Structure 1
Amino acid sequence: MTITAAALAAHRRLAERVADLTDDQAREPSVLPGWTRGHVLAHVEGVTEAMARQAENEGTKLEPYPGGRPARDAAIEERAGRSAAEHREAIAAAVARLEKAWSEVRDWATPVGYRDGTMEGTAYAVWREVAIHTFDLGLGPVVFEPEFCEHLVDFLATRVPDGVQLSLVSPGRKWTIGAGEPHELRGEATDLVLWLAGREPLGEVTGPRPELDPWP
């Protein structure tokens, strides 16, 4: 599966998860402190639009959000209180825009403004954001595919602080990151990468948990 296909598949799973979301549920707290589910959905819409904008302007390095982080945050607050149906419609429109923009990309190695990376990197960003925020909605457990777990461990490896060797052990898979004082955590792969992403896993994770550095 290509990275764009994986990202769009993550969006389909999110759409299925919120298909029956009610207005009251949209206003309830999410897993993220201070954010309702509406905030999470507004953010998913915004980041999807931002990555579509990167593709629509291929060859021009634009910042992801016009107006920067303050404008991004203001848009989330403005959109958070929408009805559940309005959230679903807005995200669907953003996905359609993204899919069209991606279909017209000429070179996935094109530099972009997002993280001073490449167009391909924006597709990985959509994959990460949508998959993790599906969990953040707090609408039940999620199970990440093995390929996503591999990507997320690689992306978040810099969160392991200096002087720590972190081993994440799940059935059939072990990741070892860093060097120094050993910390071995055991659990299902999804729970381990959720912890690495700063979330409290729903399943059991055993072992001493080191303090993690910020997101890269």
Structure 2
Amino acid sequence: MSRSPDHPINSMFFERWSPRSFTGEAIPDAVLQSAFEAARWAPSAMNAQPWRFLLARPGDEHWQTFIDVMMPRNRLWAAKASALVVILSERQLDRRDERVDNHSHSFDAGAAWANFAHQALLLGWHTHGIGGFDNDAARERLAVPDDFAIEAMIALGRQGGIEALHADFHVGEAPNGRRPLAETVFAGTLDVSAFAEEEEAA
């Protein structure tokens, strides 16, 4: 589908989408460093910067582990990515000489992921966030400490053609739309009737 925003925004925001077809070509170090640099400048509570990234590329020591912890359907396409990333976030932060819970650690890591995805797109590379993986297996096999949450995985690569993608995913391999702002932004309180009207229309 063709995407068109309802209000003026930079085109990178609606040109970014999440393909599953990747060419598998090698990704330059400079591209990865640029994307991670963009993530580094994301905002965070008290500048705690709770995000951490684990990286693997085909042929690396941990590549197969990254693939193995995914749900089987995700392995069908993610194995052709040029890089895989695991996003972590630190659950606590230092505040006034005290170690306290950071209630926005996931929120802040999400901001870093958005920066990463958009910078990659500006360089001609696509990303696909992955929630379908075995969290416990990832924690054990990648030696992630308990004080870090495992938020998501990212597949990164050059977009490939539909012919390179497993047939199970052909139908959904296109940019999707977004609900209108009238169903997303509310004055003061949440208008639940908007959700009821949306369900009735469906």
TM-score by length of 1: 0.26
More contact order relative to length (CA 8 Å, sep ≥ 6): 2
Task: State the TM-score, normalized to the length of structure 2.
Answer: 0.27
Q: As a proportion of its length, which structure holds more strand?
A: 2
Structure with more helix by fraction = 1
